[in-house]
Structure 1
Amino acid sequence: MSIHGDTPSQESTGHSRRGFLRNAALAGAGAATVGTGASVLGGTPAFAADAAKSGKTGTWRPDPTALQFTLAVMPDTQFLYWGSQDSVNRTPQEESFRYIIDNSGNPDNNIVFMAHLGDMTQDADPLSFKQVDKAFALLDAHGAAYSVLAGNHDVSGDDSRGDTPYLQTMGPQRFKRSKTFAGSDPTGYNTAHIFQAAGHSWLVLAMDWRTTDQGFAWANDVIKAHPKMPVILTTHDLVYSNYDDNVFPYESGDPENNAVLSGYGETVWDKLINDNDQIFLTLNGHYWPPARTTKKNAAGNDVHMHITNYQNRYFGGGGMIRLYHFDLTRNTIDVETINPWILAQDPESRTELAAEHARITGPVDNFSMPIDFEKRFSSFIPVPVRPARPAARELVKGTMAYWRFDGQGAPGTALTAGQTIHDLSGKGNDLTVVTMPGTAADALTWSADHHPDQPAHASLKFVGGRNPLHGTYLTTGAKAPLNAETFKSGYTIETFVMMPLDWDAGNNGWAAILSRRGSAGDAGKHGKNTDPNEPLVQFAISNNGREPQFNHYPLNDTYPTTNWGHGLVELKWWHLAVVNDGRYTKLYVEGAPVVDNPNRESIGLTSLGLPWLVGGHESAGAVDIVFHGNVGDIRIVNRALSTKEFLTHK
């Protein structure tokens, strides 16, 4: 096994050259001061006056509310700063800083924070830090949010070392104007930062490369002081890669599990990470090649641990940055690695070696991490449960029928044939339970499962199918007013549905959540796409794709209009709505219109005066399949509702 970088046990190597990178309910806010303890040692703030004079840099303006945001990470830049050898080149790092600032206001990136992972210099020389100061002044001049920490080439010993050129230049005094700086420990080598993103507060701990017990105690106190903030831990040495990068691109075996805790990393894990469930992501440099792993903490939750370091690559990495694109809508972090310095060059003028390093696309450099943020953070940010709402609140103007399934039976108990579920609209469209011959007694049961935004915290669990035909469904009475309703002026039909894992396309496909009896042929319907045996209205789930379909025969034509949605995954609740404004019909899934909403005039719903079925579907006048899955509240209104009026409304 080849391990690059300094060995895990090494406290200080001097400065010799080494061999050659997915609800606003989260509590806590702003940059609440953690406290600096003892005064910061030595030095004065060094904001270079000549920073950002080129006029090529934009404005720092991230959107703190957008559900997509980016954390930029910059690993070891030491080979750009070797002042004692008169070998300094700020240009690559400054170009990355410009990219970070410019893309803070780009909604596709929305960079909200930048974390440097240490080894800012090669030799820890004051001349090197003087140049580092000038580079970082570009971030300071634009109010950019960032953190830094010391690596073993910046300092020696542990965080009790006292004054150093690093501390004089990059210590807490540098952040006195920062809106995200939350404080430091008494030594000044360990700092805390709080940034705002996705409507939440996020805590970044930037820890020294060798932290003493007092530093760990301080970090634990910071986390305890912000008990509802997710924490990103940055440090220089934590995990190292368990493979070699002699082959390019990386051939690392398992790209999701190729990093191991170093000797010092074991200490950090034991003293800080393991018992703090808020820490969900750790980032370190120091070693190469890049790698990552996931480790379970004491609470049994994942901690994602990543090395990012490209100092062994062309131009010492050239100020390479790693971009962590958080997407709280998709529950994913998309990661990419780029070199803004090379990307800023004219493509025609790039050398072949530079072009090769403009973007690093190996499996450990460019990847996606699925992470259910709500679930992962639930131990310290309990997910607020939306309370059930009374039926009276949902009886909007024009409600013709409203069926819900709460307060009528204990979860898991069966409904029996002939049992009644009342129409809460008061219109008299009550439902009666009907059981197919040979059906098990528990084919229809009360359930406490429900969509999180559903008014009633209950549903019906149907266990039905076609091979053989079995199941229990519900029907309106023969004289129910809803049977004759044609909805000439428009309508809205809403329901909630969830399919179980054992849902089968052959046995359960095309089963209806809601349908209207009476066949198309009996109603005189004919023409393209017409099946004379199918019901006049069917709100169903298709076969292989589990796609919601609303197929209906309007009053103004002889053939059907069909609205199709996208595939719905199992074990997830979905809100479905069909809205007709008197002319056109649209299907919505979770409040979003689907792609296949025909631009075809479709007035009303044809009726033969026959009942509606919940969970049943007929062909040629006889029930041929019963639904399989859970169905929540169902509401039918005789006018078009806006999405803000849906049952999921806030």
Structure 2
Amino acid sequence: MHDNHESGRPCECPRTAELDGDGPAAAGRRRFLRGAGLLGAGVGTAGLGLFGAAPAHAAGPGPADGSGGSGSSGGPGGPDTSGAAAGKAKRPAGKQRWQPDPDARRFTLVVMPDTQYLFDQDRIHPAPVEAAIRHVLDGGVNHEDGTDDNIVFLAHLGDVTENGLATEFAAVGKVFGLLDDAGAAYGVLAGNHDIRSSTDDRRGSTPYLETFGPARAARTSGHHSSSPDGYNTCHIVTAGGRPWMLLSLDWRLSDAGFAWANAVIAANPKVPVILTTHELAYADDGGRAELSDYGRKLWERLISGNDQIFLTVNGHYWPPGRTVLTNKAGHDVHVHITNYQDRYYGGAAMIRAYRFDLDRNTVDVSTYSPWIQEIAAEERNTLAAQQVELTSDVDRFSLAIDFDRRFAGFAPVPARPARRASELLVRDTAAYWRFEGGGDGTAVTARQVVKDLTGQGNDLYPQSAPGTPDGGLSWSSEHHPDQPGHGSLLFKGTRSPVRGTYLQTGPNAPLNRETFERGFTVEAFCKLPADWDSGQSRWSALLSRWGTAAEAGRSGPGTDADEPVVTLSLSEAPALQWCVYPVNQTGASTSWGHQLPLDRWWHVAVVNDGKLSRMYVDGCEVARNPATPAVGLATLGRPWMVGGYAYAGVLDKVFHGYIGDVRIVRRALRVGDFMTG
């Protein structure tokens, strides 16, 4: 079911007489209000009942006739509570300053849908909205790691009031003054109950415009511009180290309104856009959303053609819901509806938090009422307890968005330029190889040599397993975004039978004799393709050393006599394994990484400071590093292999995937000195 505004039937909200009188329910309600601190704010108790669901799933066509009310008995502190409710202690409102971290990789957008039943003629009860605003100014949820939500913007979705009256807006404006006092970034748009719904954004002066017009908007943090009529507003805020546009659009855009919105997006062509408006989509009872008639107009004239718009949020209809639509550029647009005016206490100023995590490429969404949260759990009545936080899959969910990829069409991440090889030759570099020697997709021939760019003679030479067809190793332009060299090798090894081409150092290379007893850093870039097969490629190696543990005289704990003395391999997971035989141990020393997702570039480093070895993946230390001292690396003076792995002294498998730059240094490097630095 959806909005009935097309029929012209106004919202009907029959009052319950019992709640307006002086009976037990009213007394219980007053106990709740006094305990929660509402009466102290000068709020009357008349009409503060439970708001029942309207017969239609949206507010009516225009300002209603003031008959709003409730349809049940008992208030938040009514018959279901055991006594007077006591709210949690609250920090003084309006004392906070708006200071979100603009560079933090986690930040939050908060939306507040239809609050109309809390601002309805003489039924004005601002405390729930005030609690939500204090919550926003306090930083939102405090997390276990000591951080808060880092809220960067609050967007009200319209139907701020029930009748659009000056007295209603005066009360709303006072509450939102807390945001003004703090210098906050916020937007308030007009819904059909805030203005005459038969008009568009050319309607002229209204109590809404007098309260939330351009002059007030211009004083908010991040304000960019307002449309000439004053009913549409653009904010640009900095979060996660980049600008984001928040468009707050009127209930109905005129042609001039559409032109303004398109123009402000075009004037900021690299800025991702979140669009908020009152009506766009509605949902069925299962939460499946689709565009309304007006929503289709917005989609066709504004959203679909502007690839920068990736998320829209609207109120107006209930129940809440969501969908994903595809724009003209072929990219996803997340379309969400959130509105809780049909719920207990007119929605109790429910807010929705969109928590962006750029490192996880995820937006975590939650919906809750800060006002109810302030009431001690044991003092919440049954209905309040049910609404403190909503957990359905349209109220609490996560969106997976690869932000760089999604925004690449209008704001591509600048590619890091290749760096000169000389910049990577840090002190004590033993060997440095990069693979830029041929055309993309061309085969590496048997006569080609990959030079050791240190000039120390640790050059690499192609070697092929018997029966390997031509093209078992080829040049590629693919590379890790932070890789110094812009090229790689694509290894096409198989295990059964063993086929493929790998590289190895010459028999007299100085690296063959190195024991690295003063420490070392081994680095490599790699990518496992989507067709990586554990059956064929498990325990293949990015880098290894000829010679077995038995030949090196190792027989201690954890020893496999036939495995190589040094190997950086991939398990069946696939997970990285650094398995070596140090000079000071009779057994193996092994570090383990975590499972690596396929079709993604990774940087891996193993660092030894002369005592302990630690593995790093993308600059992050992994958990499974040994605490036993491991000094140096055993050697039999035999070659190193890139992409090859021998077992029992015989080639056992060849790597399948991409390998980029490889560097070996004779000392421990800091993370900032890795090739990704």
Q: TM-score, normalised by structure 1?
A: 0.90
**Counterparts of 1:18 and 1:301 in 2: how far apart (Å)?**
42
The one-letter code sitting in structure 1 at the alignment partner of 2:498 is: L
Matched, 1:560 2:559: no
Q: Could you say which residue in structure 2 is the equivalent of 1:539?
A: 568
1:200-258, Cα deviation, whole Å (9 max, x unpaired): 111111111011101111111111221111111111011111x12xxxxxxx2xx5xx1
1:446-461 matched pairs, under 5 angstroms? 446-461=475-490
State which of 102, 116, 125 in structure 1 corresponds to 2:165. Answer: 125
CA contact (8 A) 2:94 2:181 kept: no
- CA 1:263 to 1:323, structure 2 compared with 1: closer, same or farther past 3 Å? same
Matched, 1:154 2:194: yes
1:249-398 matched pairs, under 5 angstroms? 252=286, 258-398=288-428
**What is the deviation of 1:600?**
1.3
The one-letter code sitting in structure 1 at the alignment partner of 2:266 is: K
Q: Could you say which residue in structure 1 is the equivalent of 2:137?
A: 101
The one-letter code sitting in structure 2 at the alignment partner of 1:573 is: W
The one-letter code sitting in structure 2 at the alignment partner of 1:283 is: V
CA contact (8 A) 1:466 1:624 kept: yes
CA contact (8 A) 1:295 1:304 kept: yes
- CA 1:514 to 1:19, structure 2 compared with 1: closer, same or farther past 3 Å? farther
| 3-state secondary structure, aligned to 2:2 | coil
CA contact (8 A) 1:9 1:264 kept: no
Q: Could you say which residue in structure 2 is the equivalent of 1:44?
A: none
The one-letter code sitting in structure 2 at the alignment partner of 1:434 is: Q
**What is the deviation of 1:527?**
1.8
**What is the deviation of 1:60?**
2.4
CA contact (8 A) 1:517 1:610 kept: yes
State which of 208, 224, 233 in structure 1 corresponds to 2:250. Answer: 208
Q: Could you say which residue in structure 1 is the equivalent of 2:676?
A: 648
Q: Could you say which residue in structure 2 is the equivalent of 1:626?
A: 654
**Counterparts of 1:428 and 1:127 in 2: how far apart (Å)?**
85
CA contact (8 A) 2:94 2:179 kept: no
**Counterparts of 1:77 and 1:338 in 2: how far apart (Å)?**
14
CA contact (8 A) 1:448 1:458 kept: yes
Q: Could you say which residue in structure 2 is the equivalent of 1:248?
A: none
CA contact (8 A) 1:63 1:105 kept: no
**Counterparts of 1:55 and 1:140 in 2: how far apart (Å)?**
12
Q: Could you say which residue in structure 1 is the equivalent of 2:636?
A: 608
- CA 1:55 to 1:9, structure 2 compared with 1: closer, same or farther past 3 Å? closer
Matched, 1:138 2:138: no
**What is the deviation of 1:465?**
2.1
Q: Could you say which residue in structure 2 is the equivalent of 1:15?
A: 64
**Counterparts of 1:409 and 1:13 in 2: how far apart (Å)?**
69
**What is the deviation of 1:18?**
7.6
- CA 1:9 to 1:292, structure 2 compared with 1: closer, same or farther past 3 Å? farther
* Runs of at least 5 residues in structure 2 that lack an aligned partner in the other structure: 10-59, 71-89
**What is the deviation of 1:571?**
0.8
Q: TM-score, normalised by structure 2?
A: 0.86
CA contact (8 A) 2:430 2:666 kept: yes
**Counterparts of 2:412 and 2:642 in 1: how far apart (Å)?**
35
CA contact (8 A) 1:5 1:18 kept: no
**What is the deviation of 1:108?**
3.6
**Counterparts of 2:141 and 2:394 in 1: how far apart (Å)?**
27
Q: Could you say which residue in structure 2 is the equivalent of 1:400?
A: 430
Q: Could you say which residue in structure 2 is the equivalent of 1:508?
A: 537
Q: Could you say which residue in structure 2 is the equivalent of 1:43?
A: none
Q: How many residues align?
A: 601
**Counterparts of 2:540 and 2:475 in 1: how far apart (Å)?**
20
State which of 217, 232, 235 in structure 1 corresponds to 2:277. Answer: 235
- CA 1:5 to 1:110, structure 2 compared with 1: closer, same or farther past 3 Å? farther
**What is the deviation of 1:12?**
3.6
**What is the deviation of 1:323?**
0.3
**Counterparts of 1:484 and 1:477 in 2: how far apart (Å)?**
12
| 3-state secondary structure, aligned to 1:94 | helix
Q: Could you say which residue in structure 1 is the equivalent of 2:13?
A: none
CA contact (8 A) 1:9 1:263 kept: no
| 3-state secondary structure, aligned to 2:5 | coil
State which of 256, 260, 263 in structure 2 corresponds to 1:218. Answer: 260
Q: Could you say which residue in structure 1 is the equivalent of 2:126?
A: 90
| 3-state secondary structure, aligned to 1:466 | coil
**What is the deviation of 1:383?**
2.0
Q: Could you say which residue in structure 2 is the equivalent of 1:519?
A: 548
**Counterparts of 1:298 and 1:320 in 2: how far apart (Å)?**
34
The one-letter code sitting in structure 2 at the alignment partner of 1:561 is: S
**Counterparts of 1:70 and 1:292 in 2: how far apart (Å)?**
19
CA contact (8 A) 1:616 1:627 kept: yes
1:24-53, Cα deviation, whole Å (9 max, x unpaired): xxxxxxxxxxxxxxxxxxxxxxxxxxxx99
The one-letter code sitting in structure 1 at the alignment partner of 2:527 is: M
**Counterparts of 1:595 and 1:8 in 2: how far apart (Å)?**
63
Q: Could you say which residue in structure 2 is the equivalent of 1:66?
A: 104
The one-letter code sitting in structure 2 at the alignment partner of 1:372 is: D
CA contact (8 A) 1:8 1:264 kept: no
**Counterparts of 1:179 and 1:234 in 2: how far apart (Å)?**
17
State which of 558, 567, 585 in structure 1 corresponds to 2:613. Answer: 585
The one-letter code sitting in structure 2 at the alignment partner of 1:504 is: D
* Runs of at least 5 residues in structure 1 that lack an aligned partner in the other structure: 21-51, 245-251
- CA 1:269 to 1:56, structure 2 compared with 1: closer, same or farther past 3 Å? closer
1:66-125, Cα deviation, whole Å (9 max, x unpaired): 011000000000000112xx1111000000000000016963411110000000011111
Does 1 or 2 have the higher relative contact order (CA < 8 Å, sep 6+)? 1
**What is the deviation of 1:6?**
3.3
> Among the aligned pairs, what percent are the same residue?
52
Q: Could you say which residue in structure 2 is the equivalent of 1:166?
A: 208
| 3-state secondary structure, aligned to 1:237 | coil
- CA 1:53 to 1:376, structure 2 compared with 1: closer, same or farther past 3 Å? closer
- Greater Cα offset, 312-321 or 159-168: 159-168
**Counterparts of 1:56 and 1:18 in 2: how far apart (Å)?**
31
**Counterparts of 2:649 and 2:586 in 1: how far apart (Å)?**
19
**What is the deviation of 1:409?**
1.4
| 3-state secondary structure, aligned to 1:119 | coil
**Counterparts of 1:13 and 1:89 in 2: how far apart (Å)?**
21
The one-letter code sitting in structure 1 at the alignment partner of 2:450 is: I
**What is the deviation of 1:296?**
1.2
**What is the deviation of 1:420?**
1.8
Q: Could you say which residue in structure 1 is the equivalent of 2:623?
A: 595
**Counterparts of 1:7 and 1:338 in 2: how far apart (Å)?**
31
Q: Could you say which residue in structure 2 is the equivalent of 1:551?
A: 579
1:561-601, Cα deviation, whole Å (9 max, x unpaired): 10001111111000010110010101000011001111110
